[in-house]
Chains A and B, each alone.
Chain A
Amino acid sequence: MIEIKDLHKSYKMGSNSLHVLKGINFTAEAGELVAIMGSSGSGKSTLLNILGILDGADSGEYTLDGVPIEDLTETKAAQYRNKFLGFVFQSFNLINYKSALENVALPLYYQKVGRKERQEKALNYLDKVGLKEWASHLPSELSGGQKQRVAIARAMAAEPKVLLADEPTGALDSTTSYEVMALIQKINDEGNTILVVTHEEDIAHMCKRIVHLKDGVIVEDKKVKQVRAEQYV
């Protein structure tokens, strides 16, 4: 599903450049649930940005679902993001003047799905995350956990190949964190490929595989026994 070969990325910081990713090799099969760990500055967010086609690499190969990702125009990148990827952010990034339903329907709008079908699909996904009754509520009327569940529904609505979650539990207390992780596990159980960036050990162990990043290289890549989140909820 995801294949990365010898990926390099550096940022210019004034006169000197900062080499963030120093040759990353990484593959993820369909249906995997991978945690990417690392301290801040390890390059995990940069890696996620490149995986999410939000940023380009300096060198190296990136193949997503058999499609080489290189030299994309803005429009093409937008299409790929829309088709292949779903994003979940630490700060939810819901659009605050749109209802939960409208937020979930947004990626479908960019897929040019008709209005009625969009509403139905969005409601369906809201139902999956258990927020059907909250469809008409604005994000400001939802709790943190509910917001993140709406964000996950939004990410899933476009039926992406890969779900990318950047610190999905970073802004939540532990109980809600586990709720969100339970949801992510459920989605993974249905066969979806998910990458979770986190720096929390317990969250990482709720995935099936942990990749450790340090100073721009992968220092450890191991399969782990998944801890189910439901038991803590």
Chain B
Amino acid sequence: MFDRDIWQEIFNTLKKNKLRTFLTGFSVGWAIFILVMLLASVNGMQNGFVGQFNDDATNTIFVRPGTTAKAYAGFEAGRRVQLKNEDLDYIAKSFPKDVEYISARYYANATARYKSETGSYPVQAVHPDHQIIEKTLVIDGRYFNEADVINKAKVAVIGRKVAEDLFKDEDPLGKFVEMNNLPFKVIGIFTDEGDDNAERRVYAPITTYQRIYGNTNNINVIALTYNPTYDLSKALAFSGRLEELMKRRHKISPEDQSGLFVWNYAEAFDDISSFTAVLKAIGIGVGFLILIAGIVGIGNIMVFTIKERTKEIGVRKALGARPRQIINLVLLESIFITALSGFIGLMFAWTVLSLVGPAIETPAFSNPSVSGGTVVTATIILIIAGVLAGLIPAIKASSVKPIVALRDK
């Protein structure tokens, strides 16, 4: 296979038939180009959709209280449900294997002031785990930790926009910002992939805010992530059990749709995943059909080449070429054209994607690209395609009878 002479022969034939080689190769190169572009587009679409959601970790569940719609267990309908710190502990203790990170959220608003700049921002008082659940990216300083929560420290992690608004060119770290006239030390600045609004927000330890607001132990929302190894059915089963347990704890009818909301990201995410999976399958399907056209094209040309070279093959056989050697020659030529032109198509697609891809950034479509895996798969497909395209012509060539080929009278 790595015989220098075989390659020399292949190069010779290809060089001799430049136009034919180009036209043949073009069909396969073009097919691979389309296949890769299709896959990249689907990828881009997927990126776009996921981008809409990736504000938060994708294995997130939110528990929100509501107002009961049904009378149950001696309570009348229309009761407001209130979550408390104990609910958080209860969930964490009840599902030690299912819960990965868990945090409460306490919503407040603050008028923040630094020197002469003021602004009004929503405050989320949370636990340290919230950083991971919300995928908050601290770009400077640090997020608060357990110690801050225990000490009810007056520390704040402020959004990038908040920092810009209040501190202008100053470095906010270590400075004190007044929130509703109480000084909070800025310990970190975060950015969020969500949007600008998410960056006009302040995070503070939950305990600090609960104390400020009259030593309450109320919380607004419980956010948690479940075990990331769970697949969809396990995730849904878990959120089902969670909902059941929380409803029982708060004496809400199991049929009550508005007393408590347990919202599982997995559901929405699963819809998108199956949608993009279908798109991907269509992309691969169409790409393959085009590739098949390319393969048939190469096969066609190879058959023609064999016909043209019947005499030469006859001579080779008369000189002692074994059938295997003839098959090898034709197959290698076919594989070579297919692989090379496919590779050029691949590289072309890759270049286009790396030039244009990052520039595309719309909500539904972002950074179309292909993975290394796709490239490897495509290369393997190409080699198989080359074999398939060359197989019939090769067998045909090897069965050429020298006597027929040499009949020159």
Chain A interfacial positions (CB closer than 8 Å to B): 40, 45, 49, 52, 54-55, 74-75, 78-79, 81-83, 87, 89-91, 93, 95, 97-98, 106-107, 109-111, 115, 154, 158
Q: Which chain A positions have C-beta within 8 A of B13?
A: 97
B408 touches A110 (CB 8 A): no
Secondary structure type dominating chain B contacts: helix
A89 touches B321 (CB 8 A): no
Q: Which chain A positions have C-beta within 8 A of B409?
A: 40, 45, 90
State the interface size on chain B (CB cutoff 8 A): 26
Q: Which chain B positions have C-beta within 8 A of A98?
A: 12
B293 within 8 A of A: no
Give which listed residue, B311, B312, B320, B401, contacts A110 with CB less than 8 A: B320
Closest beta carbon of chain B to A230's beta carbon, Å: 29
Closest beta carbon of chain B to A154's beta carbon, Å: 7
Give which listed residue, B16, B317, B406, contacts A89 with CB less than 8 A: B406
Q: Which chain B positions have C-beta within 8 A of A40?
A: 409
Q: How far is the CA of A93 from the CA of B402 in the complex (A)?
A: 12
A79 touches B320 (CB 8 A): yes
B323 touches A78 (CB 8 A): yes
Q: How far is the CA of A78 from the CA of B318 in the complex (A)?
A: 7
B408 touches A78 (CB 8 A): no
Give which listed residue, A93, A110, A154, contacts B406 with CB less than 8 A: A93
Q: Which chain A positions have C-beta within 8 A of B16?
A: 97
Q: Given A89-B408, A97-B13, A97-B16, A54 and B318 touching (CB < 8 A)?
A: yes
Closest beta carbon of chain B to A40's beta carbon, Å: 8
Q: How far is the CA of A76 from the CA of B5 in the complex (A)?
A: 23
Give which listed residue, B5, B314, B322, B406, contacts A78 with CB less than 8 A: B322
B319 touches A49 (CB 8 A): no
- A45-B409, A91-B408, A93-B315 known; 6 new pairs, CB 8 Å cut-off, are A54-B401, A82-B319, A93-B314, A97-B13, A110-B319, A110-B325
Q: Which chain B positions have C-beta within 8 A of A83?
A: 320
Q: Which of B351-409 contact A (CB under 8 A)?
A: 398, 401-403, 406, 408-409
Q: How far is the CA of A55 from the CA of B403 in the complex (A)?
A: 7
Give which listed residue, B316, B322, B406, contacts A75 with CB less than 8 A: B322
Q: How far is the CA of A136 from the CA of B61 in the complex (A)?
A: 78
Sample 22 A-B pairs with CB under 8 A, ordered by A number.
Answer: A40-B409, A54-B402, A54-B403, A55-B401, A78-B320, A78-B321, A78-B323, A81-B319, A82-B319, A87-B318, A90-B408, A90-B409, A91-B408, A93-B311, A93-B314, A93-B408, A97-B12, A97-B13, A106-B316, A107-B320, A110-B321, A110-B325
Q: How far is the CA of A81 from the CA of B321 in the complex (A)?
A: 9
A115 touches B5 (CB 8 A): yes
Q: Which chain A positions have C-beta within 8 A of B315?
A: 89, 93, 95
Give which listed residue, A45, A82, A89, A93, contacts B320 with CB less than 8 A: A82
Q: Which chain B positions have C-beta within 8 A of A79?
A: 320, 322
Q: Which chain A positions have C-beta within 8 A of B408?
A: 89-91, 93
Q: How far is the CA of A90 from the CA of B408 in the complex (A)?
A: 8
B97 within 8 A of A: no
Chain B positions 298 through 330: 1 when the CB is less than 8 Å from some CB of chain A, otherwise 0: 000000000000011011111111111100000
Closest beta carbon of chain B to A184's beta carbon, Å: 18
Q: How far is the CA of A83 from the CA of B398 in the complex (A)?
A: 20
Chain B: CB-nearest residue to A82: B320
Q: How far is the CA of A198 from the CA of B329 in the complex (A)?
A: 35
Q: How far is the CA of A75 from the CA of B325 in the complex (A)?
A: 10
B4 within 8 A of A: yes
Q: Which chain B positions have C-beta within 8 A of A78?
A: 317, 320-323
A115 touches B4 (CB 8 A): yes
Q: How far is the CA of A153 from the CA of B321 in the complex (A)?
A: 18
Q: Which of A45, A75, A97 has the most CB of B within 10 A?
A: A97
Chain A: CB-nearest residue to B399: A74
B403 touches A87 (CB 8 A): no
Q: How far is the CA of A81 from the CA of B320 in the complex (A)?
A: 5
Q: How far is the CA of A87 from the CA of B315 in the complex (A)?
A: 9
Chain A: CB-nearest residue to B408: A91
Q: Given A89-B408, A90-B408, A98-B12, A106 and B403 touching (CB < 8 A)?
A: no
Chain A: CB-nearest residue to B402: A54
A95 touches B320 (CB 8 A): no
Q: Which chain A positions have C-beta within 8 A of B316?
A: 95, 106, 110
Which 10 residue pairs spanning A and B have beta carbons closest together? A82-B320, A110-B320, A78-B322, A107-B319, A54-B403, A93-B315, A91-B408, A54-B402, A75-B322, A74-B323
Q: Given A78-B321, A81-B320, A49 and B403 touching (CB < 8 A)?
A: yes
